[in-house]
Amino acid sequence: MTETTTQANLTTGGMLYDDANFVANEWVTEGDGSFNTVLDKYTGAELARLPNATELQMESAIQAARDAFPVFRQWSAGQRSAGLEKLAALIAGHQEELAQLIMKEGGKPISYARNEIARCVTTVKTAAAEALRFGGEMVPIDFDAGEGKVAFTTRHPIGPIACITPFNFPLNLVLHKVAPALAVGCPVIVKPAPQAPLSTMVLARLVEMAGYPKGVFSAMACGIPVAEKMVRDERMAMLSFTGSDKIGWYLKSICGKKPVALELGGNAAVIIDEGADLEQAARLVAIGAYIYAGQVCISTQRIFTVGTAHDAFQALLLTEIQKLKVGDPSDPEVIVGPIIDEGHLDRIESWVREAAEGGANILCGGNVKDSAHNLFEPTLISGATGTMMVSCAEVFGPVAVIEHVTDFDEAIRRTNDSNYGLQAGVFTNDFAHVKRAHAELEVGGVMINNVPGFRIDSMPYGGVKDSGLGREGLKYAMEDMTEPRLLVY
């Protein structure tokens, strides 16, 4: 018989999670016999052992979501907004606990983890506000055959949303799927990243405390076949996935006719032109390339310096890199914490070695700093060719490449010479360059006098090419999770 529990596990610092999955409003402590063991990414200590859910448990979650939809979709905008405000207050009430958990399970430096939780509160409160003003539009048809008629659209939730999320923002990127769904009346099932699923389980506890109906929210660790059942099932109305491009495009190929939102990362570029404030640019690029050991979808990976800016900027950047503290993520001064696991640490080391053996120059770093704690040195490389992995693929580590280009034309061309196109940064005080960057860069967003990693949670966020499909950002995700219905009379 499946066991359930309703009491929070307080043995791990008071956190509101158990070694259990949240399936259709029940905390389930049994699964398929295998477990997802979650480790502290710096110390290696065991934090939890979540049971991997069975196919039958996934079936229960899917059916509960489908059963909840006719009820939840009838909630008024006021009810949906009030529920999200209550959820935001609950998150705010556990901010430090959640930050400590993210620091442990994700290896995220504590200052950055605290920033994530502050953003989580903003994300949910923004969704609450959007729930009150989100709607359709008047359609002008009072001419020709439509003369004398009125037309407008209303927006209607499409149904349960299948959500698959990554480890690097283990709560805020979950909320970028969950909050807009709750704002429009769509139930959700969340399959969190195996490396850092506990923040999602705390969210499940808080959703439960907020009083949402049975089936509106389920969250479970599970193996690939069980996750694929959720993706393939026709009762799930949409797939929202954040992760690697390889997995994302595969899931799109198996999900049937349902709409898909994919946020798949990239190898983001920044351009430094000759009129830029080089000192400010160096400070921002150092943080943008190496914070959280570069494990951010829009981490600065490729740096193009224009003309005479190159030598001075490179020197300034190397100075800023040397200031970055590497080590224990519980230290508020640490910027570069551990790589998420040993496999990724080995991969990053091999990609840097490939570049060095191919003739690239390692300007700083280039080595594992502490294998016991999965630390890699902040690394800057010059002379990398476009076919080297550190240039053409997503490193997802504390590695950046810097290249001298002759003019702004070449900078744009080199930035676009990528399979990815998520966001780009341009440091310039030339407004003609601002306009050209916006018109010609093949990316989802252009950040002026900032790094590609700049993001406000309400803005449309997403990419082109292999960086994905659709846009996150509360209002934009709500559009994807609803469909317009036209009325004419």
Tens digit of each residue's pLDDT (9 = 90 or more) over 313-324: 999 999 999 999
Same fold for the pair 21-264+468-488 and 269-457: no
Separation CA 437–CA 184 (nearest Å): 35
Q: Give the per-residue pLDDT at 374.
A: 97
- Cα dihedral across residues 88, 94, 99, 105: positive or negative: negative
Residues identified as active-site: 263, 297
In the CATH scheme, what is the code of domain 269-457? Answer: 3.40.309.10
H helix intervals, 301-430: 309-323, 342-357, 389-392, 408-416
> Tens digit of pLDDT for each residue in 381-405?
999 999 999 999 999 999 999 999 9
Q: Where are the domains of the chain?
A: 21-264+468-488, 269-457
Cβ-proximal residues to 89 (8 Å cutoff; 6+ apart), any chain: none
What is the pLDDT at residue 6? 38
pLDDT band at 459 (very low <50, low <70, confident <90, very high): very high
Q: Residue 41's Cα: distance from chain center in Å? A: 19
What is the rounded average pLDDT for all residues in the chain?
Answer: 96
> Torsion angle, CA of 218/296/248/446, rounded to 10 degrees?
120
Please check whether residue 432 is in contact with residue 445, taking contact to mean a CB–CB distance below 8 angstroms. no
CA distances from 298 to 366, 376, 401, 419, 424 (A): 21, 19, 15, 14, 8
Residue 4, pLDDT score: 39
Long-range contacts of 406-409 (CB under 8 A, 24+ apart): 406/306, 406/307, 407/306, 407/307, 408/271, 408/273, 408/306, 408/433, 408/436
- Structure confidence at residue 16 (pLDDT): 79
Is residue 236 predicted with pLDDT exceeding 60? yes
| 5: pLDDT strictly greater than 60 | no
* pLDDT band at residue 18 under the 50/70/90 scheme: confident
- Say what the pLDDT of residue 14 is: 53
* Superfamily (CATH H level) for 21-264+468-488: Aldehyde Dehydrogenase; Chain A, domain 1 (3.40.605.10)
Asked if 463 and 442 touch (Cβ cutoff 8 Å), the reply is no
Q: Which amino acid is at 169?
A: F
For 144, left (φ over 0), alpha (ψ -120 to 50), or beta?
A: left
Give 11's pLDDT tier (boundaries 50, 70, 90). Answer: very low
**Contact by Cβ (8 Å): 170, 192:** yes
For the chain, how many residues are written? Answer: 489
At position 100, the amino acid (one-letter code) is Q
- Distance (Å, whole) CA 10 – CA 16: 7
Strand 161-164, strand 188-191: pairing? parallel
Distance CA 408, CA 482 (A): 41
With beta carbons less than 8 A apart as the criterion, state whether 21 and 51 touch. Answer: yes
